[in-house]
Amino acid sequence: MRRQFSPMPMALAALVLTVLTGCTPVSLVPPAPPAQKSQSVADADRKLAQVAGERTQVEAAFAASEQLCYKKFLVNRCLDSAREKRRATLAALRAIEIEAEHFKRKAAVEQRDREIAEAEQKFQAEDARRAADERAPHVEPAEPAPKSGASAASRTAEHASKEKQRAEQDKAGAAKRAANVQAYEKRKRESEQRQREIEEKKKAKAKEAEGK
């Protein structure tokens, strides 16, 4: 797909190239039309790239026109005309550039606002779900139905075995938690001891410095 370029800056570039090359005296520079509004970020990027390319062409044409003006009889008049055309064209290109940059900044702000709103909605939905789960009554899982033919004695033995296993797991967990607490307290005491040693060394150095 061929890109569609705005005719306005191309016409300005063509005008300045013609006038700069020939140094035709022009008494009045027509005002540049307002920059067309960008329709998308891609459109704004295209405009910025187009402006950069045309600005390079204008500068190159102006440099060439200076060399031609020095060969003419009315040098200053030729240079003034070339400078004015360069100024007017660059001003028009700058207007296009400002509009495209403004559109991109506005699009970025709107995108950020949408992301914040979506994140807030997601957080509120998650918070509502957690609140609903907390309000819902807790239902103990139903005991599995005894197998046909299983005796009361076997069911009692199985229940006792599960309770014993659960008690052993609780005991192991308590022992592990106690060991973690002891290790934490030990690290805390060692850290406090090192801190006291550092403070004592600082005080000793300070006294030594005062003695000197």
pLDDT tens track for 36-80: 888 999 999 999 999 999 999 999 999 999 999 988 888 899 999
pLDDT tens profile 86-143: 999 999 999 999 999 999 999 999 998 888 988 888 888 887 888 888 777 666 666 6
Q: Reply yes or no on whether the pLDDT at 26 is more than 50.
A: no
pLDDT tens profile 75-84: 899 999 999 9
For residues 14 and 69, membership in a common domain is answered with: yes
Structure tokens at 93: 């290109």
Q: What does pLDDT average to over the chain?
A: 78
For residues 128 and 176, membership in a common domain is answered with: no
DSSP type of residue 14 = H
Domain membership flag for residue 157: no
Q: Reply yes or no on whether the pLDDT at 24 is more than 50.
A: no
Structure tokens at 55: 């600005």
Domain membership flag for residue 145: no
CA torsion 195-197-199-203 (nearest 10°) is 180
Last residue of a domain, one of 88, 108, 132: 132
Count: domains in the chain? 2
pLDDT tens profile 152-198: 777 777 877 888 888 788 777 777 777 787 888 888 888 888 888 88
Distances, alpha carbon 82 to alpha carbons 13, 54, 87, in Å: 13, 16, 9
Provide mean pLDDT across the span 203-207.
79
For residues 17 and 110, membership in a common domain is answered with: yes
DSSP type of residue 159 = H
Last residue of a domain, one of 115, 132, 149: 132
For residues 109 and 177, membership in a common domain is answered with: no
What gap in Å lies between CA 54 and CA 86, rounded to an integer? 11
Contact 48, 101 (CB under 8 A): yes
Provide Rg for the chain, Cα atoms: 41
- Print the domain residue range for 53: 7-132
Buried b (16+ CB within 10 A) or exposed e, 127-150: eeeeeeeeeeeeeeeeeeeeeeee
